[in-house]
Amino acid sequence: MTDAAELRALTRQLLADHPPATTDRTDFLRARFDAGLAWVHYPVGLGGLDAPRALQAVVDAELAAAGAPDNDPRRIGIGLGMAAPTLLAYGSDEVKRRFLRPLWVGEEVWCQLFSEPGAGSDLAALGTRAVRARGGTSRSSEAESGGDWVVDGQKVWTSSAHVARWAILIARTDPDVPKHRGITYFVCDMTDPGVEVRPLRQITGEAEFNEVFLTGVRIPDAHRLGEVGDGWRVAQTTLMNERVSIGGSRIPREGGMIGKAATTWRERPELRTHDLHRRLLDLWVDAEVARLTGERLRQQLVAGQPGPEGSAMKLGFARLNQAISGLEVELLGEEGLLYGEWEMRRPELVDFTGRDAGYRYLRSKGNSIEGGTTEVLLNIVAERVLGLPSEPRNDKDVAWKDLTR
C-alpha cells in the first residue's frame, strides 16, 4: 500500500520531470493523471494508485506549494463529482480508459440529463425512451457489437449542457414494469445531431441551465453503464455523490457566502443594528457547524460510498445560503436592491462570491431545487437517517405505462 512518504516522492518526481513554470498546463495535468496522482484512491492506470483517499491531501499540498496548476474543479464539477464515480463503479474497462482521463484533465466537460418537465421531484417517473435500434450503427467509432439504442425525449434544468461534450443520461427502456425498474443508464454524446440544447433564462437574467431535446439520438450499447433495466440503482451512485459535491465541498473557515456577509459587516459599521448582529452571529455559527460536518462527511467517504448523510448536508447548504443571502440584502439596505447586470449570458459556472449581494440572493433560491428538492431530501433524511416510516406510495407496483400523468 502506498504511504504518505511514497506519495511525496512520486509528487516531487512529477514536479522535477514536468516543472510547472515551463510545462504546458494540459500536459502537466495529463502527466499527473498518468502518474496516479489525480485521485490517488482510484485504481492504477485510471489516475490513481489504489491508495487511501485521505492521502490525496498529501499530493495536493505538495503541488500547491510548487505552484502547480489544478484542473479547475469548479468548471468540471459535474464530471468530477457525479460522472466519474459512476463511470468507475459501473463502466466497462474500455469506458473507464476512454473517459476518465480527459474528464479529470478538463478536456471534456460533462452534464447530467436526469430531470424532466413531467418528472422533476419524482425522477423515477421519467418518460424519455430508449429502444434498441433496428439496424445501422452509431456515429461513434466506439460502437461495439452490442448494437445501438435510439433515444427520444426531453430533459430540463441541465447545467453546463451548452458547453458539455458528454452527458450521463437515464432513459426508460421498459414501460411495462414499475417506474423504478425499466430504467437504463447511458453516456450520451452531446455533439450528436439529434441533441438540441436551448437556454433557460433564470431569475438572475442568465441562462446557466438548459433544456435538452433528444430526437433519434443513437447511443452504442458500449456506452451503457450497468445492466439494462438497472439504471435506477446506478443513478443512486450519481445522486449521492452529487449531493455530497454540492453540500459538502471543502471551504475554509468563514469561507463561502458567510464570508461575504461578515466582510460587509466589518467594513460598513454604519449599516449595523443590534438585530442584524444577532442574526449574523447565529448564521456564522451555523455556517461553521456545516463546515465541520462536511469535514466529517469527507472522512466517512474514505471508508466507502456516500450515504444519505450527503442529502442532509445538501439540505442544510440550501437553507443556509438562502438565509445568509437574505441577511446580506437586509444589511445593505437600499444598496442590497441593486443588481449590477441583467444581460442574457450563458456562464460556464456559478460564481456566488464574485458577484453582488442581489445576485447571491436571487441565485440561492435555486439551491433548494437543484441536486434534489428540499422536499425529497427531507424524505430521505426521515426514512434513511432517522428511520421514520416511509410515506404511502400507491404507484410502487404499478407499471409505468399505467401511471396517471
Element holding 242 (H helix, E strand): helix 231-247
Among 206, 208, 211, 242, the active-site one is 242
C-alpha distance from residue 83 to each of 102, 237, 340 (Å): 12, 9, 34
Distance from C-alpha of 77 to C-alpha of 72, rounded to nearest angstrom? 9
| C-alpha neighbours within 13 Å on the C-beta side of residue 118 | 9
Contact 33, 47 (CB under 8 A): yes
> Residue 203, Cβ neighbours under 10 Å: how many?
10
Coil, strand, or helix at residue 187? strand
Contact 209, 158 (CB under 8 A): yes
The three grid cell numbers given for residue 354, joined into one nine-digit string: 464574485
> Residue 70, Cβ neighbours under 10 Å: how many?
13
Q: Which residues are registered as beta bridge partners of 225?
A: 185
Distance from C-alpha of 148 to C-alpha of 313, rounded to nearest angstrom? 39
- Which of these, 315, 318, 327, 314, lies nearest to 260 by C-alpha position? 327
Distance from C-alpha of 352 to C-alpha of 321, rounded to nearest angstrom? 10
What sign does the CA torsion over 37, 39, 44, 46 have?
A: negative
As a whole number of Å, the CA-based R_g of the chain is 22
Would residue 196 show up in a list of annotated catalytic residues for this protein? no
Q: What is the DSSP string of 281-299?
A: HHHHHHHHHHHHHHHHHHH
Which residues are catalytically annotated? 242
